[in-house]
Amino acid sequence: MANEFERAVVICVNRYFTEHRMKGFAYRLKQAQFNTQYVDILVDSPDHTFYFAIECKSITGKRLSFTSNFHKDKDGVHQIDNISGFLKYTGRQGFLAAEFRGNGPREAHLMPWEMVLTFFDLQASIPLDEFRKCIPLERTSYGYRLDSLTSPPSD
C-alpha cells in the first residue's frame, strides 16, 4: 500500500513539472535490506525551490503517530532524526506526504518538514486536521494533483 502511495506522489510531482513547463524530476529511491534509505522520494530541479525530499506515510485513521508510523534504526535513532540529518547535509527542503485511508474518501497532504519537527517536539502524533492546513494533494480520476507547493490560506 505504501509503495502505491509513493508511486502516486512521484507521478503527481512529475505531472506538476510538466503542467507548469518546469525543469525537474521526482523519483523513488530503491529500498534494499542492508542499505539505509533516509527518504522515499527525491526531487531534483535547477530551481532550488524544487530541490526537496519527501517521506511518505499511508495511514488508516485520523492521526499520524510518531511511534507506530515511524521506526528507529538499529542504533535506536528515530526516523525523524535521520531524515532531519539527511535534509541538513544535502540542503534539501523536506516534506512529509501523508495519505489518510479509512475515513471515507482517501485524502493526502504535504506537510513542510519544519512543521513535522514542531509536532515531533511537542506531541506524540499529528491529527488529520493539522495536515488539512498544509498543501493538499487533490484526488482526481488520474491520481493525485498538486496545484502549488505553498499551503492554502487559513480560514
Domain boundaries of the chain, sorted by first residue:
2-146
Please give the model's pTM, rounded to 2 decimal places.
0.92
* pLDDT computed for residue 152 by the predictor: 66
33 pLDDT band, cuts 50/70/90, is: low
103 vs 99, more confident: 99
Q: What is the mean pLDDT of the chain?
A: 90
Per CATH, which fold does 2-146 belong to?
Trna Endonuclease; Chain: A, domain 1 (3.40.1350)
| Nearest Cα to Cα of residue 95 among 77, 117, 69 | 117
32 pLDDT band, cuts 50/70/90, is: low
* pLDDT computed for residue 72 by the predictor: 87
Q: 115 CB contacts (<8 Å, ≥6 apart)?
A: 130, 134
Q: How far apart are CA 19 and CA 14, in angstroms?
A: 9
Helix, strand, or coil (residue 18): helix
